[in-house]
Structure 1
């Protein structure tokens, strides 16, 4: 049986995927997950029977609906699809896909646009945090064309400012979930930190790396990846996340001193089994927060390279990644480096296609029906 659902395919930041209304999906979390697997073509390396892009950055889904939260206009639930593994992970947030949530809400009539600029208040259901999206709407129409350029995306587009509020402890309830700024796992010095997303921060030199390796080089380094995964799993246990072997949190990040004099750090961010070709927004927020926290791996590297001259919190952080740079503004409450009020950055978005997405109610994996097989699903608290 073939089913259909209204859909807008959008690029948000350096990610891309279908944007759907929650009201158009099944109410049951299990049925909802099965629907997402089907429409994305999960279960095949090329996701040939759906619209998934055979890459973690293009195997993402944004689910949006009107919010009943008094401080939010819309709710946003992010789903990360593991195509070959047929898994749906609702635990992480995706700040890049979030870039297009405001435009989508306006395009679908969930939000009435204002003249010039429309502020869309978003509640992320994965983290239960609020984000302000400033969408340019001259003439009460979403503006996509502009002169803002972001690394990892060709051309230019209209800038959309995202301000993440109260980013600390989104999953664990604490900035430093283990109570330590740094600790040792398997002989490697690490920082376990939760700001916008749980992360595992490690100096690249711990693995004998310079930190400027390409994603392809890192993805081909199987011994390093295997050891990194073992450390990640132990970090997840220490952070109170339990057994993370089937999840994507915490996200590992290898750090080193940046090449550019104006950059604060150089990062190689994993998602978590492959190196990100750029840098996730939530990961960038975590790093921008960590730089100002004394004792963290990020703080130590920035201090040693001269990017940080004292223990005063940094208000602006520039991060170097494989595709270029990302700039973030960090607002602390007073001089407390552990208390971050908001982190803001500029992304872009583009509407690619509006229409009807068709999917089969019977999922397939490598050509074999798996409609009676259990779906490996990690549920969000909001589901």
Structure 2
């Protein structure tokens, strides 16, 4: 590899590291005869699969030159940092070389805005199109859709990329305009709507025409920066809930604010946003998507911020003792799902297993229930008394609250969700 290519790689990989909105869940692209790579069932960008396997992608920017001057971005126009740009051909060949050396299993491609959104999108599109058509690369590709780019370019990108994403960054319009004067929510929501419309149209086309190409089979995602502005957790989760009502939105990612531009007086004077807040938002997000919770149950006008000492499901349970006890052998799936220490998989196993006999503590342990948490909220064959009645909320809080997370030991969102 040429020294100039290595230097570009160092600069542009460093510039891309602050974007966390990348994963491959939901894609179904299979390997094809004569092609290379496969994305089926794999997580990308140092994500973890269901069996604990860590897999990686080339997370890179086409260029970190940018016309915009967003206060929170390391690549802002006014920053004096090393700049570089790949040609589409260079980046295509680099991706293939990395794949052949077994360094990566896919590509996450973003870019600074050069000249205008359409010009930038055209260059990114050339990379993913060449990978698919010339090199017959079947691995996972996640591509950023540039706000302001035409609907036609977004459509073309979706024919070659597995997932498209547009980052909202800041939850409220006022704060976005204050920190990123070149952006507004309208320009961000527009490509989101384009992606959604193309997905709906593609779904109809595939019903009518068997060989119609897939469009962005893994849907779209977005990212919100947490802590750069004064939005509370309630505002953030309300926005996420609205986004998830769109059929094409698969994931909202939460990125704790990192003060890379400490000189900008518009930004908070903090060393770092507590990573535990980021993790609590992921857990709350899990409750919205898989546990049938509404935003008002997790946070409300009285409790606008998530409790940092315990997960949001446990916090809700302590605030709502009237909901309990839940009789494991009689309650519905939805009721069981609300018990702290019982996850989606465990709740389904409980409903299935109790058809063959009454469940006791040993059976719940074998199923995978975290009894340290669940014991305060359930009744089962061996336990007819309700522990929550005999234990104060403060006692349960002190018994179950989690120690502060160390920066180097923060679990992945998927791992956090398993303890809900």
Q: Return the structure number with greater helix share.
A: 2
Larger radius of gyration: 2
Q: Return the structure number with greater strand share.
A: 1
TM-score, normalization by structure 2: 0.23
TM-score, normalization by structure 1: 0.24
